[in-house]
Each structure stands twice: as C-alpha cells, then as structure tokens.
Structure 1
Amino acid sequence: MLDTGSPAPDIVFEDTEGRTVRLSDYQGKQAVLVYFMRSTSCPVCNKHVQELIRSRNEFEADSVQVLVAVPEGRQEAAAWKARRQVPFPVLHGRSSAPHTMIGLERKVFGSMQQSGSILIDSQGVVRHAHGATMPTGSYDRKGIAAAVQGLRTHG
C-alpha cells in the first residue's frame, strides 16, 4: 500500500471508453480520490460508491475528482457503470488489476482482492491511503474527510 506523504506513482489505467487515464493527468489541476472496489458485484462496495455519489457536490467544491477502480475488464466495468448510473470515471487496469498496482492484494490461501482508497493532492503527493481485506472497512469516510480538510488548510 502507498505511504501517506510519499509521491504517488504514475499508474496508468483505462476508462470504460477505452481512454488512457494516468494519475499524473491531474497533477497541477486538482486532487484525486480513487476508490478501489473489491468487485462490481460486492454489495458493500456498491454501497460505498453510492455514498461517494451522494457526496459528489462536496468533493467537487473541494476540487477533488473521484475515480472508481474495479478489477474487472472494460466491458464489465462499462456495463456496471451504466447499470448503477455512476457519474465518475470508472477505471480498470490495462495489464493488471489496478489494485495490484498499488499493493491492494493480499495472499491468503490464494489471492484475496482488497478494497480501499487513496487521495492524491494536486501536486501528486499521497495524502490518504487506506486498504482493507473486508469490504466493510474499505471506505474510510473519516480519514478521507480529514485528508480533504487538510487539502483546504495546506493548499
């Protein structure tokens, strides 16, 4: 998992339209919150995405772009995005799951997908990083709110 205060790696994703999306695309422009779902079929993760949607105006007011990363491929991600009416860009990895790219995978009797979030400020520094094996602990609302507050007070 990424360390708070460290430079964010320039991870390359693909969105549901097939466009390349790099975390560095947002540098110098706005902060980015990436929520990593365990899977599009995870009911708890879907609940967290709905909470992100309900908080959309607050994130926009703080100039934070929300992105949702899923381990599934582009077609399945696009179908899920349309079915759930997700207003945020939905990303998947180009050559591997986005989760693996930032260390959100844990080996327990094989591989178990983790979920979590990262907040990267407009300068490309990780301001919040949280991961969990159980989806119920993957959306750290208080931690994200504190990190966004820190963006306001520290630029």
Structure 2
Amino acid sequence: MLETGSVLPDLELEDTTGRPVRLTDYRGSDNVLLYFMRSVTCPVCAMHVKDLAARAADLAGADVRVLIVVPEGRSEAAAWQAGRDLPFQVVTGRHGSPHAAVGLMRKVFGAVQQSGSLLVDRAGVVRHAHSATVPTGSYDRRGITAAVAALPLADPLP
C-alpha cells in the first residue's frame, strides 16, 4: 500500500454514471479521503461508510472530499449506491482495479481484497494510509481524524 509521505498516482476512476474521476482535478483545491471497501457486499465496510457519512459535515468543513472506492464494476456500484443516501461519490476503476493500483491486494491462498483508506492533501501527498485484510480493522477513525486535523491549511486567496 502507498505510504504516508508518498505522492498518490493519478488513479483512473469513474463514478456510477461513467464520468471519469481524476484525482489530479482536486489538486490545489480539495483534500481527498479515499475509503476502499472490500466489496459492496461487506457489511462491516458499509458500517464504516455510514460512520463517514455521519461525519460528512466535519470532513467538508476541513475541505476533505470523500470518495468511496469499490472494487466491483460500475453497475454493481450504482446498485449499491442507489440503496443508500450517501453524501459522497462512489467510484470504481476505469481500467482495472483501483485497489490494486494503490497496493490493496494481499496474496494469501490467491488474491484477497483488502480495504482501507488514504487521505491525500491538496498537493497530492498521502497524509494517512491504513489498510487491513480483515474488514473490522480497516477503518482507522482516530488516525483519519488526527490526519485531517494536521492537514496544511489552504493558501489564502490573493
């Protein structure tokens, strides 16, 4: 997985309508928290998303845009999103697995999908990275909160 201090590569993502989502579009304007779900059928990951949704106002107040990243295709992601009132965009890989692109695949008797989160600042630098193979350990609420509090402030407008 990417480490704190590394620069996030520009992942090729798309939202549930098929529109491209490029992380470089947020550079200079928004911090981005990517929460990588193990799958849309993971009830533990869904609880984590629910907690993030409850914290949406605080995250938005810190100029943090949250993207929920799922490994399934666009139609599965759209069906999952339709059943929830989320204040966040749900995205998937445009070409390949977004999870694999950031190192969230673990080889244990084949490939096991991991879940976790990355907080990326306006400059594209990873400020928090956390992952786990077991979903119950994949959401580091305290670590995310501390990393959000430590984000560099936006440059004031001239």
TM-score, normalised to structure 2's length? 0.94
CA contact (8 A) 1:62 1:152 kept: no
Runs of 5+ consecutive residues of structure 2 not aligned to the other structure: none
Partners in 2 of 1:78 and 1:70 — Cα distance? 10
**Are 1:111 and 2:111 an aligned pair?**
yes
Q: 1:57 to 1:106 in 2, by over 3 A?
A: same
1: CA distance, partners of 2:13 / 2:101: 10
SS in 2 for 1:87: coil
SS in 2 for 1:32: strand
Alpha-carbon contact 2:12-2:95 (below 8 Å) kept: no
CA distance in 2, matches of 1:72, 1:140: 23
1:44 aligns with 2:65: no
Compute the TM-score of the two structures, normalised by the length of structure 1: 0.96
Does the CA contact (< 8 Å) of 2:121 and 2:127 recur in 1? yes
- Secondary structure in 2 matching 1:28: coil
Contact 1:36 1:116 in 2 (8 A): yes
Per-residue deviation at 1:71? 0.5
Question: Quick check: 144-153 or 43-52, which moved more?
Answer: 144-153
List structure 1 runs of 4+ shifted beyond 3 angstroms: 152-155
Post-superposition Cα deviations, 1:61-118, rounded to whole Å, max 9, x if no partner, equal 1010000000110011001001022221101001212101100010111111000000
Aligned residues: 155
> Which residue is equivalent to 1:22?
22
1:123 aligns with 2:123: yes
Report the more deviating stretch, 126-135 or 84-93. Answer: 84-93
On the 8 A contact 2:8/2:126 being kept in 1, the answer is: yes
1:95 match: 95
Q: Which has the higher helix share?
A: 1
Whole-angstrom distance in 1 between the partners of 2:5 and 2:135: 25
SS at match of 2:150: helix
State the SS of the aligned residue for 1:60. helix
Percent sequence identity over matched residues? Answer: 58
Q: Mapping of 1:142-153 within 5 angstroms?
A: 142-151=142-151
Matching residue of 2:81:
81
Q: Match of 1:91, SS?
A: strand
Aligned mates of 1:31, 1:154 — CA distance in 2: 10
Aligned-residue RMSD, C-alpha = 1.3
1:50 maps to a residue whose letter is K
